[in-house]
Each structure stands twice: as structure tokens, then as C-alpha cells.
Structure 1
Amino acid sequence: MNKTIGNIIKSLFPEGTQPDTAAMLEHLDADTAGNPNAPWLFPPLLPSDVFAIAGYICKVSSLVGHLDPHIEPRDNPGFQVSSDERRILVDCGASWARLSADPVKGHIEEAMPEPVVRLWDEIIASWNESVLLKRDTSDEKYAPRWAKAALSLFIISDTAFSRAYFDRTTIDDSNVMAAWVSALRLGAFTESLAEEKAMSSSDDGALVLVGDPPSSITMMANTALATVLPKSRIPSVGVGLRNLSRNLALLPGSSELRLSYSPQIHRELSSGAECEARGKPLNLLLIPFPFEIDALAFEPSSRSERKITGERDWQSFRVKQHWIDDANKRQRFLAQVSVMLDEAKREVDEIHGIILPELSLDYELYVKLGEQFKEICPEAELCLAGLATNMNAEHGNFLAIREWGETSNHTRIQIRSKQQRWKLDLNQLEMYGLTSLVDATTKFWWEDAHIGNRSLSFHSLRDDTVFTSLICEELARSDSCHDALRAVGPNLIFALLMDSAQIPGRWPGSYATALADDPGSSVLSLTSAGLVRRSIKIRGTGSSSVALWKDETGLTRTFELPKGDGAILLSLRPQKIINRTILDTPSQVTSWRYFAHRTLLV
């Protein structure tokens, strides 16, 4: 297919740009309605859909690479947006954000500012033109009209979607449009927690997501090609679309990696209380459970043949959770957590979250942990853990994220599968003393875990923070989720590992540094004390650090648990900073910084 403007528009909006194309055509004269391009003659009604097509055109054409960010006129080739043009575009976007008419039920002229319609007309007038820009800057067609129009619509639609997702206390006439889109696309996952179609109840009354939140806040765009989600951080390095937008992120289609965004669960807080909540520290209890791991916990999979034939030199393994394999061990764990929470509350007023490593619990124990946590700490906001089973009792490697609103009944649990498999080589078998997996013919052991459809979720915390979580290899492998991480720019990334010591010189430190640099996230990795201690026991030396912190300032912190059962109480403080787009648009965001930590032994 030729990459023309028209083909790009039709591929992203296969049903047209309007939610009711037939009704739209009825209001057109016969000649216009008979135009084969009639379903695309009018701009999409939502700013997020306009952002999707404008960004998609910019991406396919590599338009941002031709953008000169300087304000003053220069002889250098490329597109420029003058200070006057920037002001006009931002004002247009702000006026679009203030429109109070329902954009789906309203008329085109009521649903968006006139410049948006005019710029769309310029793009449609270039329907048969190539979307690929000329390389020869002396060519008179080097700067086609559609290029500046697409860039302008990108800026306008991004501005129109002001940051309602992250700051409910400022939903007023300045961001009505964003609030409307929020209700349209995500309402079932914010306030309507009793919707049986989206939720099912667990034993403790928690509402477990059966489906996922929408993969995009667009209405008409083909999500197999492109999706749009709210963003948090603007990277301070690089020159790309993610450096150009402040409020929205253009992401790949959902066919390879399904992304989603979950707004914070409703809390009945006054604007003053909400502002106070945003200024509070975030106190997290890091529990590096299990505290001991036997070598026999790593066992050949029942589906793995011990006899290797042909060229195959690998087998599959599973992790047997011997640390929670009877009722006494499970009850002991819950009792230990209760003691840890009581001890932690002697150090700080509130505990906001609990984090456990990869494959630490199963779903049943995780639910009981959440119930206990919220009972002891009514202020609880989140609980993250790696699980070996999901809500359907299926075995695998899962990440569980539980969030709470104002009461224990205002809660949701989201669970997804790990995106990558763990590969054990001979060096790791030696490092951890896993003699149960050693034989003469097997060089590699692959984790026996079903992956299925890959997904990654972003979550709002206190309205001014977005966090996400990764499982082990996802921190290192860039082929599935790192592009999305850099586009959305979460303030916090939690990596749950089954790994050895968390120190700067090992692989978690290297990949955490990369994400701290771009997009500027604060990254916390956590592993089990059991595997750290196995490594020390086998080698006779080594660090006992079970967690590692890295942020954009370059600060690195390790957290030791030298002996016994226990936890790390980590306190983070919010720091307001200014990010800027490549066109110098400012954005105030929260950067989480290390404040203090204490070791709690049981």
C-alpha cells in the first residue's frame, strides 16, 4: 500500500472519523455525501483521536526529526514553530479543553475550535500526497502543507487534554474535555466498581478485574495500529514524539503488547485533603520473602523430558514454593507480616504499601495478606507481589497489583502474566547451588510458564503520580515494554525479581539507570532474601542487599538484610520538578526521592 496521507487516515480510522457515519452523511449535500472519502472529511470529535492521527502521521513521516526547536528564524533546514505560533496553538488547545458540550452529541462547530477544522481540511486536501518527506531540503515540496498542519494538530490536541487524570481537584472549566473523555473511556474502572461485567468478587470482597481497562482513551482510532494513554514524565533526553507532548502518549498498537491505564480508586477527599495527600511521603514495607530457598525448590517441569534427543540442549523448570506449602507456614508468614507492620508503625505514622518479590506468594495467600494489611493499616494504598497462581488457580508467573480507595471495599486487584521467561544457564546453577538441575546434556533451563497475550498496566497514585510494575526479565528485555515505559514516563517503577544481590554493578542496576535517565523514572528493584543468601552460602561472600533504588538525580541506594527474617521500611518523599517539551512547554511533575529506610527484624 502506498503511504499516502489518505491511506494513513483510512488505516487508522477504518470506520471513519465520526461515531455515526450514516447520520453524518445524511446532513451533507448529495455531492459531498457521494464522495468516497466522505467518512473522513471531518476531524475526529475527541482530542485523543486527533492526537492519534496527528501523531501517527508525524511518526510515519519522521516529522519530528525535521523540527527545529529554536524560536528565532534560522537558515537551517527544517520546520519551525515561532513563539507566536506556539501561543496560538496552546490557546486553541486550551479553548478546546473548556468546551462543555458533549462532543459526540454536539455539532462539529460546537465540539471543537475552528482552527482544528481548518487544519484538518489542509490535511484532507493532501489526501493523495506521500506521507514520506523529501530528503532534499532544497526541493520545493520538502515542506508540504500537511506537515505543519499535522504538527499543529498534535500540539493542540495534546494541550486540549489537560491533566485531569492526575489532578481531580483542578477539574474545572479549564479541562472539561479531559474529564469528559475520562468518564467516557474509563468510567467503569473508576467509580462503577460494582459493575459485574467488569468485576468479580473475591472471598474478601475485593473486586477483581476480569477484563482490562481500555487499551486506549481514543474512541474511533484503530487500536491495532496505535493507542493513546495519559503520560506523566517528559524525557529530558532524545528528540521524538514523546519529547513533544506533555499530556498524552502515542503508543504502539495493542496486538503485540496490550497497555492500559487505571485511574486511582475514588477517595472522598476535599481539595485541601487531597493536596495534603499529594505532599505526604510514601512509606513502603519491602518484604524480601521467602527468607530461605532450598535447592530443590527448582525442579524439572513435569512436561520436560529428562532424555534429550537431537540438537535440543535445554529443558524446562518450575519453582516449587516450599515456603508456603502447608497451613502452618502460611499462617506463620501472616503472623510475621503483622509483627512487621506493628514494628513499622512505631517508626512512621502510616504504611501506604507492601511490596514482595517475584513468585513469593500464591493468589489465596496474597488476598489474605491484603485483607490483613488494610485491617491493620486503614491508610493502605497498594500491595504488589509476584504470584505462582492467579485467581483461576492457574499455575505460572504472575504480577498482582492491589489498590484501595477510602475503605476496604473500595479496592481492585489486577493480575497479569510475566512477559519473558527466565533462562538459567550453568553459571547461575553454580551461583545458586542448584544441583537438582544439573546433568550431562542440558546447558539451559527455561522457566516453564505460559506467557499468553502480553500486557502492561499503568496506575494512578494520589492523582499526581503514575506507577507501573515489572517482573524480573521485563526490566532487562527491551523488546516488549520499554518503548511504552519511555512514552508514558511513569514516576515510579517497581521491579519484582527472583535474583541475587541488588547492587549497582549487576544487571538490575544497569537497567534501572537507563530508565532513571530516560524517561526519568525512579526505579526500585526487590528480590528475595532466600536467593541472595543461597548465593552467599555457595560463594562464601557477597552483598546481602535485597533491594536497589535509583532515581534521575543519580542517587543509588542499596538495602541490606544481613540475617534473620525481616523487612525494609522505605520512606520516599515527593519532589516537584519542571519537565519541558522540545518546544519548551513546561510541565510540573512529581519526582519521588529517597528519604530514609529502616531494617525491621522479626
Structure 2
Amino acid sequence: MRPPNEVLVLWRCIAAAAKCSLSDLGAQERVVSALLHLVALADAASAGVGLSTGPKGPDAYQDRSRLLLAGIGANGASTLSPLLAPTEVRVLPKQHAPRGGLTLRSLTHHLALHIGGEVTPFWDNVPQARRSESLNLLIAPWPLTLQPSQFQVAAGALDNMPDHFGFVDFRLKENPALVSEWVQSLLDQAVEVGGRVDGVVFPEASLTMAEYQQVVSVVLARGCFLIAGVLSTSVGAATSSNQVMFDATEAGQRIHTAQHKHHRWRLDRSQIEMYGLGGTLDPARDWWEHIAVPAREVHFVTFNDQLSMCCLICEDLARQDPVAELVRSV
């Protein structure tokens, strides 16, 4: 497919300056103007990219974009710029442009630039069978009770970790049948009060894998999406797994994502005393959550042209590096 003549003219202007150093490029007004024009054209052509509400019917650009966002040709991760090293730079869909100030993000409405490869983005689409201007969320406060005895000193240790620090495990009291029955009842009550539930949200580390498998079947059967904190407890010295999982079924399509926590929780004296954990954990030491921290990922989910979201777990909101720039760019 031949590009439009306007694009070819702009590209030739840029190619003619291929030997110009970046430090001198700012003085080349024609080249800078051509670059900005190409950015604007690419942005306008990308309206609807990454959205289930994008153009209908045959559209080669949209079809190719869907493959790229599905991770085809980019080591499984999402990017609209497959010719560029994804560890250096990625181009993603965008829904929110800054309303104030002037930054690089202000240049575009439909494309986001993310520089750096410390966090790998993934992009998923959840086509909505029903269109609504509101979203009703049911917050599920599970488990109903916690005991200090569920916090235990972890068996593992690091040879080079100072004695002032230790690792702590959290042990859930697993009961898949109970939580399944409880969430069924909670959904019934929520529908009676609010009329409709679109999504159910469970807290961080609230479900075991067996409990999650029961809950997700219940929630999806009710036509809701699920966001749930799932804790896979370790055995012996192995680290646990603390993840947030997202599940939805819309228009016959099933979406599932799983994202590990980016930062460990650290319990200090004030928290140990506040939560009554002094009988288990020495308040004179700081205790790190005994979880694995694998390569960082962020999963974006878009429902329509008004809503895209991603999930971050507790410390990942408090310690915003390195994910904040990626989230803001989108």
C-alpha cells in the first residue's frame, strides 16, 4: 500500500537530514516541522486503535494494530512499533491527554510513547455487550477476619541481608466452598440494592488459588468482571506469589490477566504494634514480605472509548517508580 503523497514529502525531508546530529536537529526548522506533522498524521490515523469501539469493517491498519497489541512479533508484549527495540521504546494506545501544562504527552491524543524497558506493558480489549455511562463495582471485604497467627516468620533468608531485617509469610485460612457461597450472597444483596453489578473487586492477597477458581466461576456466570488479589503461599524457604488477577467474559470472549506485585511490603515497629503482631514478629526488626518479585509487567484493559484501566497492588501505588511514567503516558 502506497503512503499518501503528503506523508512521502514529509518523510523525504526527514530522510535528507539523516546525517544531522540530534544536538543540531533543533535548528533545522523544516525537519522539525516535518517530524511534528508526521506525528500529528500518525496520531489522527490511530483514532480508535486499541479500542473495541474502533472502526468496523475491513481496515488493514486496525487489523495490524490488533495483532501488535496482542504481542505478535514483540516477545509477547504489546507495542505498535515493532521495528524499534521494545526494551528501549514502545508505542501504545492512549485515551487521556493532559488537560493542563505542556509536555511530550500533550502532542498526541491516540498514541502514547513509553521510553525504557523496566516495565513491560500488555494491552487487552474487553468488548462490552452492554453500553453504559456508569460502572457499578462491588467491593468484597474478604477475608472477614484476620489473626496475628497468620503472620509467620519465613524460613528463607538472604546471606547478605543485615540482621535488622527478616522475611514474613502470610498464611490464608483456605475455604473455597465458604467464599463461593459468600460471594453469591453478596452479589444477590448488591443487585437488590443497586440493580446492577458490573465488576467485583477482592483485596490484595485475599484469596488462595483454589478459592479464586471458585470465585471466578461464580462472578463470570453473573456477567461481571473480577479483580482479585491471589496469594500462592510458599512451602519451606521458597517465596510466595502475590498477584492481582483480572477476568472478564464479554460478547463470548474470555480475558484473563495475572500481574505480580512490583514491591514488597515492609512491616516496621509502628505497623507491628498497630496490627498486634508483636507476639509473632520482633518489633525491633523490619520485616519484608516473603514474595517473589519477577520482571515487572502492567496489564492495561480497555472496555470502551471512555475507560481503560490497569491494576496496581498496594506498595506499587505508594512506590510509583518505575511504573508511574508508563501509566501516565497511557
TM-score, structure 1 normalization: 0.50
Describe how 1:416-435 pairs up with structure 2 within 5 A. 416-435=259-278
Percent identity, aligned pairs only, is: 25
Query: 1:232: Cα distance to partner?
Result: 0.8
Paired residue total: 325
Q: After the TM superposition, which residues 190-201 of structure 1 pair with which residues of structure 2 at under 5 Å, given as runs?
A: none
Q: Report the CA distance between 1:475 and its aligned residue.
A: 0.7
Would the alpha carbon gap of residues 336 and 311 (structure 1) be closer, same or farther in structure 2, given more than 3 Å must change? closer
Match of 2:245?
400
- SS of match in other structure, 2:194: coil
For the residues of structure 1 that align with 2:70 and 2:314, how far apart are their CA atoms?
Answer: 32
**1:123 aligns with one of 7, 10, 14:** 14
What are the within-5 Å matches in structure 2 for residues 3-402 of structure 1? 106=1, 110=2, 112-132=3-23, 142-166=27-51, 168=53, 170-171=55-56, 176=59, 178-186=61-69, 214-254=77-117, 256-265=118-127, 277-304=130-157, 311-322=162-173, 324=174, 329-375=175-221, 377=222, 379-380=223-224, 382-389=225-232, 395-402=240-247
Structure 1 residues 225 and 458: alpha-carbon distance in aligned structure 2, compared to 1, 3 A threshold: same
Instruction: Give me the whole-angstrom Cα distance separating, in 2, the residues matched to 1:465 and 1:182.
Output: 19
Contact 1:166 1:465 in 2 (8 A): no
Larger Rg: 1
1:227 positional shift: 0.4
Shift of 1:187: 6.0
For 2:260 and 2:75, the matched residues in 1 are separated by: 13
In the TM superposition, what is the alpha-carbon distance from 1:366 to its structure 2 partner? 1.0
| CA distance in structure 2 between the aligned counterparts of 1:187 and 1:317, rounded to whole angstroms | 37
* Per-residue deviation, residues 92-115 of structure 1 (Å, max 9, x unmatched): xxxxxxxxxxxxxx3xxx2x2112
Q: Residue 231 of structure 2: SS of its match in structure 1?
A: strand
Q: Distance in 1 between matches of 2:219 and 2:152?
A: 32
CA-based RMSD of the aligned residues comes to 2.8
| Whole-angstrom distance in 2 between the partners of 1:127 and 1:374 | 54
Is residue 217–residue 229 contact of structure 1 (8 Å, CA) maintained in 2? Answer: yes
Q: In 2, are the aligned partners of 1:386 and 1:399 still within 8 Å (CA)?
A: yes
| Amino acid aligned to 1:340 | L
Separation in structure 1 between the aligned mates of residue 27 and residue 81 of structure 2, nearest angstrom? 31
Superposition deviation, residue 465 in structure 1: 1.5
1:165 deviation in Å? Answer: 3.0
Q: Distance in 2 between matches of 1:150 and 1:301?
A: 55
Amino acid at match of 2:292: H
Give 3-state SS (helix, strand or coil) of 1:457's partner. strand
* Aligned residue identity for 1:426: R
Report SS of the residue matched to 1:237: coil
- Per-residue deviation at 1:389? 2.2
Are the counterparts in 2 of residues 299 and 436 from structure 1 also a CA contact under 8 Å? Answer: no
- Structure 2 vs 1, CA of residues 219 and 336 (structure 1 numbering), >3 Å: closer, same or farther? same
Give the Cα separation in 2 of the matches to 1:310 and 1:400: 31
How has the CA–CA distance of structure 1 residues 467 and 318 changed in structure 2, closer, same or farther, with 3 Å as cutoff?
A: same
Q: Which amino acid aligns with 1:459?
A: V
- The separation in 2 between residues aligned to 1:471 and 1:387, in whole angstroms, is 11
CA distance in 1, matches of 2:160, 2:65: 56
Q: Secondary structure at the match of 1:236?
A: coil
Secondary structure of residue in 2 paired with 1:278: coil
Distance 1:220 1:309, change over 3 A: closer
Higher relative contact order (CA 8 A, sep 6+): 2
Q: What runs of 5+ residues in structure 1 fail to find an aligned partner?
A: 1-105, 135-140, 190-210, 270-276, 489-602
The CA deviation string for residues 268-290 of structure 1, in whole angstroms up to 9 with x for no partner, is: x5xxxxxxx33342111101211
Distance in 1 (CA, whole Å) between partners of 2:309 and 2:298 is 11
Runs of 5+ in structure 2 lacking a partner? none
What is the identity, as a one-letter code, of the residue corresponding to 2:95? S
Tell me the alpha carbon deviations over residues 549-588 of structure 1, each in whole angstroms, 9 at most, x when there is no partner.
xxxxxxxxxxxxxxxxxxxxxxxxxxxxxxxxxxxxxxxx
Q: How does 1:499-578 map to 2 (within 5 A)?
A: none
In structure 2, the CA distance between the partners of 1:114 and 1:354, relative to structure 1 (3 Å rule), is same
Q: Letter of the 1:457 partner, please give it.
A: H
